[in-house]
Chains A and B, each alone.
Chain A
């Protein structure tokens, strides 16, 4: 089954404790990205990757890191989480850069930073 898998689904952590949210897709997609969803703001892009070892900032990259060592994986790293990073996070992947393909989204990760 074609899917984007995120882990964990739910996470409560404390300020400053490094964490990683994993994202994996099984569709051989080139393009992957991370979004965060906040009430009243919709989803906003954090980082994206056009292919292995190619990553770049989206609209709200501050406080986040990513890596793309393999095509299928695109982890989101919070080196020192803060309460304003409490949000619902989505990983997405697309076949290619062309937006004639819809983005497949993971199930979401609800992060709470206390």
Chain B
């Protein structure tokens, strides 16, 4: 069965600090997809990134970067020079390509507080 673990329940940083959110996943499939979503205080879910299991290239988008390492089953998310607007709950999620229902399995989320 697939599982996603976000061990950090809550992180608090001061503005301009870099912060890394950890995500460790378990799956028996060789083809799967990994996602990160942001949930700001307003409650909606905002898609950040999707990565398939065959693409281990790290990705950078502005202040955001993602480090995918199959050897350690991790898909960590780093925010560089954090800002107050980054305060949110962040979810890592996994979807196995072989399951018919295509469900996203979510981690329990990491609440990030960026203090001014």
Contact = CB atoms under 8 A, between A and B. Distances in A.
Given A102-B50, A107-B43, A45 B103 contact: yes
Nearest to A97: B102
A58 B101 contact: yes
A90 B101 CA distance: 17
Interface residues of B, number: 24
A12 interface: no
Nearest to B52: A100
B23 to A, nearest CB: 11
Contact of A33 (B43, B93, B103, B108): B103
Contacts, number: 65
A103 B101 CA distance: 13
A10 B20 CA distance: 33
B91 A43 contact: yes
Contacts of B113: none
Contacts of A108: 43-45
Interface of B: 4, 6, 33, 35, 37, 43-45, 47, 50, 52, 91, 93, 95, 97, 100-104, 106-109
Interface of A: 31, 33, 35, 40-45, 48, 50, 56, 58-59, 88, 90, 92, 94, 97-100, 102-108, 110
